[in-house]
Amino acid sequence: MLRSMLRIRRFEEKAIEVFSEGLMGGVLHTYIGEEAVAVGVCSNLRVDDYVAGTHRGHGHCLAKGAPSDRMLAELMGRKTGLNKGKGGSMHTIDFSKGILGSNGIVGSGIPIVVGAALSAKMRGTDQVAVAFFGDGATNRGSFHEGLNLAALWDLPAIFVCEDNKWAISVPKRRSTKLEDLSVRASSYGMPGVSVDGSDILAVHQAAAAVVARARRGEGPTLLVCDTPRARGHEEGDPQDYRPKDDLEAAKRRDPIEGLKTYMLGAGMLTGDEFEAVDKAIVQEIMEAERFARQSPFPRPEEALDDLFAEVH
Amino acid sequence: MREINYQQALNEALKEEMARDERVFVLGEDIGLIGGNFGITRGLLEEFGSERVLDTPISEDGFVGASLGAAITGMRPVAEVMFSSFMGCCMEQIWNQISKIRYMSGGQVEVPLVIRTVNALGRSTAAQHNERPEAMFMHIPGLKIVTPATPYDAKGLLKASIRDPNPVIFFEQCFLYFTAKGHVPEEDYIVPLGKADVKRRGTDVTIVSYSAMVYKALEAAELLSARGVEAEVVDLRTLSPLDRETLLESVKATGKVVIAEDDCKFGGVGAEVTAIIMEEAFDYLDAPVLRVATRDVPTPFSKPLENHIMPTVDDIVAACGKVAGA
Ligand SMILES: Cc1ncc(C[n+]2csc(CCOP(=O)(O)OP(=O)(O)O)c2C)c(N)n1
């Protein structure tokens, strides 16, 4: 799990670098500070389980097993990218790893995950489907409709809310009266669980229970993870709207530092071992960067491919 | 051959496809116990059980989005949206998710998904129950848009839509459910998507139409024939992809075109068809292309008001007379 969180962190640090060089179009929303949620949940999943991410989706994809080189190539619009350069940062999709898509539309992955869980149930598999979304997304109709359907049909779905208290510049307290969003679960007749989302062990443990429950056919759960957003909404966001101490507090809750400190303290890891792990990951990301930079752009005419599947 | 109506034809198509392929299932509001508002799913619950015939809560965004999730993970859902006006409630899923997921993923996935819905002009249901929104969906790349007029086409096109690996929005016409009758084979057949059909041969003017307006076009053609003008009636059947070949062949042969459509005129299907003709067959035209369409207002309730905004057979005859000089 430490490795997986570090991979996300180093990947995104590289993405920021490449973005500031102007080699990446569009916008870049990083997951920095929230890694424990994706990793804590996905470490309980199999390759054939489904996840749907958010506009802040690099962490979900990497934690679910997407290759860092093809992901970085995608962010840089290359032909070798996961989506042949048609998706980009907000829309990374890898069906071979059960990743049904990061999503540019807040909350829209939720009904899609409901359908994937429905399909798993209909096909009689024991796959589960996980939707990640922010606290802001819980105010959308798709959240309410999706949770209601999943509960009604006892689907193997897990709804993971990344409660970072912000939706761009709007603080959570200005978009809902609720403090603890997990209480929303009770209005659909499913359990709601709240957990410290910067504590990877807590997330992992809570997710293990709800994933097992879903796999046993006992239905969906809403898992709310209290997690800090350590950077702006997107790169380049000056965060003028945000109190300084809120940002400082977010940075102090670094889940990677948290796990590292815990493991060092418990004698599960030495400083040297940590360095070695980190070095290997930095190496992987450097190779991913080399791969992405050396990859060609798609031919312009490829813009017209992949619209429809051939009728067979 | 036996005759059945449009409603029965659609019902048979669903039954046969569900029997043929166990991945096919239906979902929507009131589709189980009562077989849908118009009985299109009647008998499916008894035959296939509640596992494959899912009554949903009133949550178009939810169940249409769920259909997408099911389609990309191995199932073949057929969702029913009770009236096409309600398509607004799931527009986000259709527009941003369903139509784009294959393209955005670089072609990784197939989306074998059908959304059936119904247009209901002419039933005094006022503005929120009788949209004809097909042009809006035509404007979204990545969707196939199907609009059958006859029972034969309805059955064959629905079967083809269910077997298609791409998202299809299937617009039925409420007025036709019980009035349109015709020969429908009992053996398995499909009508391929993307193929128009010449419903009447003629040499003097082409009337381009689809869905319920095809019948008014045919009626107009009979009246014109009495005046010595032979109209060819082209039923587009699929609006996207649109069969340019059949359309242009007819236009080139007659040199005169009237488009008859149910929807509002401004920015509608006829506008697109006109543009295609101008771009690809201008030199063959003997007269400007004319459009006969519904007036550009929401549909009013009161019968005289509703009748006033809808195009009539006489309007089509008059337009044909104008371009054909008769
Ligand atoms: C339906 C929709 N409305 C608005 C936006 C613009 N937008 C993008 S991210 C965002 C904030 C989302 O907040 P939250 O769901 O809490 O996720 P976070 O960014 O905090 O991870 C908004 C409003 C959008 N992408 N989709």
Query: What is the C-alpha to C-alpha distance for residues A106 and A117, in angstroms, rounded to an integer?
Result: 20
**Per the residue annotation, which of B129, B139, B183, B308 is the catalytic one?**
B129
Measure the CA–CA gap between B90 and B86, rounded to whole angstroms: 8
Angstrom CA distances, A170 to A136, A173, B231, stand at: 9, 8, 62
HEC per residue, B273-294: HHHHHHHHHHHHCCCCCEEEEE
| B chain contacts of residue A142, beta-carbon cutoff 8 Å | 61-62, 65, 92-93
Mutate to test the interface with A, among B104, B113, B242 (most CBs of A within 10 A): B104
B78 to chain A, any CB pair closer than 8 A? The answer is no
Candidate from A91, A118, A306 with C-beta closest to B70: A118
How far, in whole angstroms, is CA A181 from its chain's centroid? 18
Determine the Cα–Cα distance for residues A82 and A91; give it in Å rounded to an integer: 10
Question: Considering only CA atoms, which residue is closest to atom 17 of ligand 1?
Answer: A134
CA of A135 to the centre of ligand 1 (A): 9
Are the CB atoms for A150 and A159 separated by under 8 Å? yes
Residue B130's pLDDT band, with cuts at 50, 70 and 90, is confident
Which residues sit with their C-beta closer than 6 Å to ligand 1?
A: A 54-56, 104-106, 133-137, 162, 164, 166-168, 233
The burial of A39, by beta-carbon neighbours within 10 Å (0-12 exposed, 13-18 middle, 19 or more buried), is given as buried
C-alpha distance from residue B13 to each of A41, A271, B90, B160, B161 (Å) = 43, 67, 25, 9, 10
CA distance B171 to B134: 8
Give the nearest chain B residue to A97 (CA atoms).
B108
ipTM reported for the complex, 2 dp: 0.94
- Chain B partners within 8 Å of A148 (Cβ): 57, 59, 62
Which one of B51, B97, B110 has the shortest CB-CB distance to A309? B110
| pLDDT tens digit at each of 312 positions of chain A | 999 999 999 999 999 999 999 999 999 999 999 999 999 999 999 999 999 999 999 999 999 999 999 999 999 999 999 999 999 999 999 999 999 999 999 999 999 999 999 999 999 999 999 999 999 999 999 999 999 999 999 999 999 999 999 999 999 999 999 999 999 999 999 999 999 999 999 999 999 999 999 999 999 999 999 999 999 999 999 999 999 999 999 999 999 999 999 999 999 999 999 999 999 999 999 999 999 999 999 999 999 999 999 998
